[in-house]
Structure 1
Amino acid sequence: MLGFYKERQGRWISGVFAGIAKRFVWDPKWLRALFLAILIFVDHKFLLVLAYVALAYFLPYRQTFYAERYGTGPRKRKEAEKIYPWQ
Structure 2
Amino acid sequence: MSRPYDPYSSPNPKRFYRSRTDKVISGVCAGLAERYDWDVTLVRVIAVLLLLFVAGPLIFVAYLVVAMITPYAPAGYGNFSADEDAFWRGVSDRPRATFGAIKYSFMDLEERLKNIERTVTSDEWRLRQEFKDLEKGN
TMscore range, shorter length: 0.5 to 0.7
Structure 1 counterpart of 2:53: 41
Task: Give, in angstroms, the shift of residue 46 of structure 1.
Answer: 1.1
Is 1:14 the counterpart of 2:52? The answer is no
Counterparts of 1:37 and 1:45, CA distance in 2: 9
Q: What residue in structure 1 maps to residue 74 of structure 2?
A: 63
Per-residue deviation at 1:36? 0.9
Q: Is the 8 A contact 2:51 2:57 kept in 1?
A: no
Letter in 2 for 1:15: G
Greater helix fraction, Structure 1 or Structure 2: 2
Residue in 1 that maps onto 2:96: none
Q: Which sections of structure 2, spanning at least 5 residues, go unmatched?
A: 1-13, 78-138
* Higher RCO (CA < 8 A, seq sep 6+): 1
Equivalents in 2 of 1:58, 1:50: separation in Å? 12
Give the TM-score normalised by the residue count of structure 2. 0.42
Question: Of the two, which has the highest radius of gyration?
Answer: 2
Give the superposition deviation at 1:17. 0.6
Output the CA distance in 2 between the equivalents of 1:55 and 1:10: 17
2:48 counterpart of 1:26? no
- Distance between the aligned counterparts of 2:64 and 2:22, measured in 1? 18
Instruction: Report the TM-score when normalising by structure 1.
Output: 0.65
3-state DSSP of counterpart to 1:29: helix
Deviations 1:40-63 (A, max 9, x none): 211x31111000000110001110
RMSD of aligned residue pairs (Cα, Å):
1.8
